[in-house]
Amino acid sequence: MHDILIQEDILSKNDEIAQENREMLRERGIFSINMVSSPGSGKTSIIEKTVGLVKELLNLAVIEGDIQTDLDAQRIKRHGIPVKQITTGRTCHLDAHMVHHALPWLFGHKDIKFLIIENVGNMVCPAEYDLGEDMKVAVMSVTEGDDKPLKYPAMFSASQVLLINKIDLLPYTDFNMQRARENALRINPDLLVLETSCVKGSGFSDWCEFLLRSAGADTGPAIKSLIK
């Protein structure tokens, strides 16, 4: 009970800072997403592929949240866009305060219109911490099992988009796509569900078009052809 009260207090302070972050980002016309998933579901690979496809159309930056190491930030850096590493130490999620400290760095880069925040790999706590993003994007991979939405509902109900990733591995698993979609939509009927594979490139046309639209970028036919 005591622990829960402490947690409520921490969360309400977090929400205040998140709201500040949100206003600061919106004032500058920066659309932002917060990517959440279990470790190893493919968030970094999805970001790398997304950056490669949209960076010519939209100035973007990435904030990488990790317990330890800057391995993911190094991967993103190769794509020639601004990347900021937040190392959380013993904390199993990013919070609004950590992101707040990264905003001066972000605003130091000219004309950024899209911010991707990669959260710590964890299906539980990241769902509870608003960072001030426009939307949370959940990722789950087909090797994790189709029951994940039922077992970790908070992450799925807090997200607007679900990417079901690594669909190239479908033939080698007993993952049931229809059951996974039903489970996810039972938790959150408004979820946009997309199926992706970083290996084959499947689903990235729809995903990138959705992002560009959400970020208010021009999505004319020229752009469509670029991301196909």
Residues that bind a second copy (CB under 8 A): 3-4, 6-7, 10, 38-40, 66-69, 71-72, 90, 92, 120-125, 128, 140-141, 143-145, 147-148, 150-154, 166, 168-169, 172-173
| 63 contacts: CB under 8 Å, gap ≥ 6 | 83, 84, 86, 94, 99, 102, 106, 115, 116, 117, 118
Bridge partners for 62 per DSSP: 83, 116
Phi/psi region, residue 86 (left: phi>0; alpha: psi -120 to 50; beta: rest), is beta
Nearer to a second copy by Cβ, of 137 and 211: the residue is: 137
Minimum distance from residue 3 beta carbon to a second copy (Å): 7
C-alpha gyration radius of the chain: 17
Nearer to a second copy by Cβ, of 5 and 222: the residue is: 5
Nearer to a second copy by Cβ, of 106 and 203: the residue is: 203
Minimum distance from residue 23 beta carbon to a second copy (Å): 25
Minimum distance from residue 68 beta carbon to a second copy (Å): 6
Side chain identity at 52, as an amino acid letter?
G
Q: Are 95 and 129 in contact (CB under 8 A)?
A: yes
Minimum distance from residue 108 beta carbon to a second copy (Å): 27
CA distance 11 to 126: 11
Minimum distance from residue 122 beta carbon to a second copy (Å): 6
Nearer to a second copy by Cβ, of 69 and 205: the residue is: 69
Map tokens 């919106």 to a residue: 26
Nearer to a second copy by Cβ, of 172 and 190: the residue is: 172
